[in-house]
Chains A and B, each alone.
Chain A
Amino acid sequence: MTEIHQVLVGAGRTDAITNMARALREALRTLGESEIYAQHPAPGVDDVFPLDQFPLEDSAGRTIVFHASGGDPDVFELLNSVAERIVLVFHNIAPAELFDDVDPSRAEMLRLGWQELELLRPKVCLAIADSVHNAECLAGVGYEDVKVIAAGVDAYRLHRLTPDPPMWHRLGHEVHGPLLMYVGQSMPHKRPEVLVQMQYLLTRHVGRFPSLAMVGPPTVPVVNAAALEQARVLRVPGCLFYGQLTDAELAAVYRRADLFVTASMHEGLCIPILEAMAAGVPVVGRAVGALPDTVGDAGLLLPADAGPEMFAEAVGELLDDQGLRSRMAFRGRQRLRDFDEDAATASFLEALAGVV
């Protein structure tokens, strides 16, 4: 019986890569046995096995689907010793230099990630990137014929959920005026502080009083903690740091939001932006990494070096122009046709059939 397991470095309850692996697991199970293994499964993740439970016996001819987003010596060791062939799904690796001061050990793992990608190359029988940008990055470390397939992406996942009633009630209580939202892990390249500074300028210099909901797990807690502290010290009104939410809670935030704003400096694909487009929420971000490809003409992309002043004016502009917001929301839904989950899964399985 065919056995194709997936291996991840970390796995979370709601993180994008784990969700993609979950969707692929369903597709892979049509071919045979398939499970997900992760070196660092988060507490409460009960559908992903710890890597030390990976079945080591009968490894001859084994193919492993490896989701690369960072380095880890134990994962590398397992892939090197057990996998005969690797199907690499590349989600990109965050820029290590931004982690040097705040989380040096993570910075080291990120650097290691690139080295491991080069070392694993001889075993990789199929390289898949989930965006054109990621494919270009992979080509930069010597990979050829990288296929671009955003497999396992279900942009409408949250849109189909009933928003969590208590969260909806809480938003009604806490949100005053329009709601700006951001979703992403607390990591330095996501630049949450730029959004807090944007909110500071909006409320102090532009005379606008939206609320700003910041959502996402505290991967590098000091990053969001410092942004929160800056909001407190500068007495910035309307900053709502919600941390990690359940899917139903997040669905409530998307349902209530007027704009999705991200100041991230590096994105390999950015699933939250696809989810915003599915929810009809216009997107504002920087033209960096994969964002131009992901957003297309459905979002307002500022220059890569845009600071809080430009973000504040962009938010002001869009809040004033309901017509433009509606057009962006419409284009967002059209744009999502390029991210059709069934078509991507079919492409993934077709590519896999060529090598397994």
Chain B
Amino acid sequence: MAAKKQPAHPLEDLIRVDRIPHIWCPGCGVGSVFASCLAAIKDTGIDYRKFTMVSGIGCSGRGAGYVKLDSFHTTHGRAIPFATGIKMAKPDLNVIVFSGDGDLFAIGGNHFIHAARRNMDLTVICINNLIYGMTGGQVAATTPNQAKTATTPYGNPETPFNLPLLAYASGATYVARWTMIHVRDLIHSFVEAINHRGFAFIEVLSPCPINYGRRNKESAMQILHSFQDKTIIQNGADPAALDMDLTKSVTLGKFIHVEKPTQDECYAKVCMGEE
């Protein structure tokens, strides 16, 4: 009896194996989040041809390049409007936006709030590593106050976004936050987000030891430990109370999960007269 061929990877059918090795650094968390996302896609049981992934620019933005789905690596900050075009032209697709904090919330911030306001039926996964990693560690809209970066050598004088609050205030109908070590919760959350009809946003904290940790004297392992030791899970927490301080406490969980008509449903009903 011939031995059954071992797959190169349990998610082989969703990975462009011919593109491995990937670009992510040792100690980076993007790969774990990416694997969780693929595991969730698989877990939904939905035909892969009904999925598409869109990324912007940056380390996380390379996600679309490794997934064996119809996938798009767009311009900096514009993954959401690209995804919006796809979704509105073909509403039966599950459109996943996989990108980073710099891409989605600085250059792409305007698109994020408007897609949330429309309750555009997208799954938006934001890998938040608190920094612009690919360009060498410059301050981001998510960098903690006082943190050292390549462009804040004296410490960050600015205040970071509370991303779940921003998503909630903009109209997102599913909002969660996890870290890349919370793999089971993450996969569960991604499955929920994909199945959710409406704008789903998941923030995933992830280490950038090379460009954030190095300047702030935190090793990859120390960052992972803080993800374990300094986080509490509090589902349904008030989004206004979710400011982060990884030296003290960061609240994780699913904060918002409500049903509301989506943009494509509303367009069909209001503009096309469909029941």
Are A and B co-members of a single complex? no
B residues within 8 Å of A by Cβ? none
